[in-house]
Amino acid sequence: MSIKFIDLNSQQLRLKDEINSGIQSVLKHGQYILGPEVRKFEKNLAKFGKSKYALGCANGTDAILLPLLAWGIGPGDAVFCPSFTYCATAEAIANTGASPVFIDINRRTYNIDPESLERAINKVKKSKKLVPRAVIAVDLFGQSANYPILSAIAKSYDLKLIADSAQGFGTTLKGKHPLHWADITTTSFFPAKPLGCYGDGGAILTNDANLAIRIESLRFHGKGVEKYDNTHVGINSRLDTLQAAILLPKLKIFPEEIKVRNLIARRYSDSLKDHVLHVPEILEGVISTWAQFTIEVSDPEVFSRKLKEKGIPTARYYPKPVHQQSAYSHYPIEGTKLTNTEDCSNRTISLPMHPYLEESTQNKIIEIVKKVAR
């Protein structure tokens, strides 16, 4: 049997009856847009994420875009974000007309470096070409960013703070979700995410009632109280009822799946720490959702080819950081070079990671990685 990088089939088989029942219920009542399953899922999601409000939307990119629009961020504004991430983080900023300002990462955790962030804020303030407005931290590969420090920096400069938890939704730091410190937490339900649907989907969590009302309007064409009186210029970004029906049973087993992911990650780390250049380092007090298990090797391309020959899939995330990509290379960065970002992007590679990875398969992966990495 071939090893899967992410195994959605095993989870689907486990939840088959509940998922099929949910889909049939939606087909029966026919409320395909913002049906009762959406409201139920939003309520359950808010409870899980320890937030007062959760709002589903069409995808994880819109989940970032909507709060930026709600805050009126646009041309002339600066929004700070890491470059070692998927382009969607910067894309949402650029689509408001604002400028992403790319920040370096902590070399150990791959998450945004607070010192780099503060230097970038002061550089922008000094230049007076842009107005600092917000920070987007990314919970990369499933691990919470250092929100206590990031929150203190954001507050000291009167900036909004978004936790981009597309990969890390469910991560906690000392028992608290990122929203404990951030103004907004966003997530994606893209199928490969730890909590994924069977299409596109996303959500926004907040404790701010007025912000939630504004985002609810913006995601539905800027609707007002009267059906044909739109009070804002919005977008069309609603979570489909069918996807909410699929996500409801997935959310029930999500805490259990996070625990299993952590057991697998610990086994990987303990077994491989002396055989590769770097295994993931987790901040004290953090529980990661382990969207990916990412290691560093001297030559990822050769390493990947050798594992593929043994039937083990790998994936390379962000070998070209966002600030080096054609559409984003003209935007400002902190300093003259993002040293940590560029260094790790040349070495990182991810191993199979999902909660249905059997122990025998883990053993095979570990033993082959040890041999190949020598």
When pLDDT is averaged across residues 159-174 and rounded to a whole number, the result is 98
Task: Tell me if 348 is assigned to some domain.
Answer: yes
Task: Tell me if 3 is assigned to some domain.
Answer: no
364 and 264 share a domain? yes
227 and 192 share a domain? yes
- Tell me the percentage of the chain whose pLDDT exceeds 70: 100
When pLDDT is averaged across residues 47-62 and rounded to a whole number, the result is 98
CA distances from 193 to 169, 333, 347, 358, 368 (A): 9, 28, 23, 19, 26
pLDDT band at 209 (very low <50, low <70, confident <90, very high): very high
212 and 313 share a domain? no
Contact of 230 with 219, CB cutoff 8 Å: no
When pLDDT is averaged across residues 120-132 and rounded to a whole number, the result is 97
When pLDDT is averaged across residues 345-353 and rounded to a whole number, the result is 97
242 and 276 share a domain? no
3-state secondary structure at position 295 = strand
pLDDT of amino acid 1: 59
When pLDDT is averaged across residues 55-69 and rounded to a whole number, the result is 98
- Average pLDDT of the chain is 97
Task: Tell me if 89 is assigned to some domain.
Answer: yes
213 and 290 share a domain? no
When pLDDT is averaged across residues 334-356 and rounded to a whole number, the result is 96
Backbone angles phi, psi at 294, to 5 degrees: -110, 125
When pLDDT is averaged across residues 61-77 and rounded to a whole number, the result is 98
28 and 144 share a domain? yes
User: Is the confidence at residue 202, as pLDDT, over 90?
Assistant: yes
User: Is the confidence at residue 88, as pLDDT, over 90?
Assistant: yes
Task: Tell me if 67 is assigned to some domain.
Answer: yes
The pLDDT tens digits of the residues spanning 304-321 come to 999 999 999 999 999 999
Task: Tell me if 80 is assigned to some domain.
Answer: yes
Regarding beta strands 131-138 and 77-82, do their DSSP bridges make them parallel or antiparallel, or are they unpaired? parallel
When pLDDT is averaged across residues 235-264 and rounded to a whole number, the result is 98
60 and 202 share a domain? yes
- Cα–Cα–Cα angle for 146, 155, 176, rounded to 5 degrees: 40
User: Is the confidence at residue 348, as pLDDT, over 80?
Assistant: yes
- Cα 89 to the center of its chain, rounded Å: 9
The CATH number covering residue 286 comes to: 3.90.1150.10
Task: Tell me if 1 is assigned to some domain.
Answer: no
Backbone angles phi, psi at 237, to 5 degrees: -145, 85
The CATH number covering residue 17 comes to: 3.40.640.10
The pLDDT tens digits of the residues spanning 267-302 come to 999 999 999 999 999 999 999 999 999 999 999 999
Domain boundary among 227, 249, 271: 249
Q: How many domains does the chain fold into? A: 2
Domain boundary among 249, 277, 303: 249
pLDDT of amino acid 374: 73
pLDDT of amino acid 373: 87
144 and 280 share a domain? no
Domain boundary among 216, 234, 249: 249
- Cα–Cα–Cα angle for 144, 145, 150, rounded to 5 degrees: 140
pLDDT band at 2 (very low <50, low <70, confident <90, very high): confident
204 and 262 share a domain? no
DSSP string for 171-192: -EETTB-GGGT-SEEEEE--TT
21 and 167 share a domain? yes
Q: Domain range for residue 102?
A: 8-249
Task: Tell me if 41 is assigned to some domain.
Answer: yes
pLDDT of amino acid 353: 98
When pLDDT is averaged across residues 132-159 and rounded to a whole number, the result is 98
pLDDT of amino acid 32: 96
pLDDT of amino acid 225: 86
pLDDT band at 226 (very low <50, low <70, confident <90, very high): confident
Backbone angles phi, psi at 47, to 5 degrees: -65, -45
Task: Tell me if 360 is assigned to some domain.
Answer: yes
136 and 276 share a domain? no
330 and 362 share a domain? yes
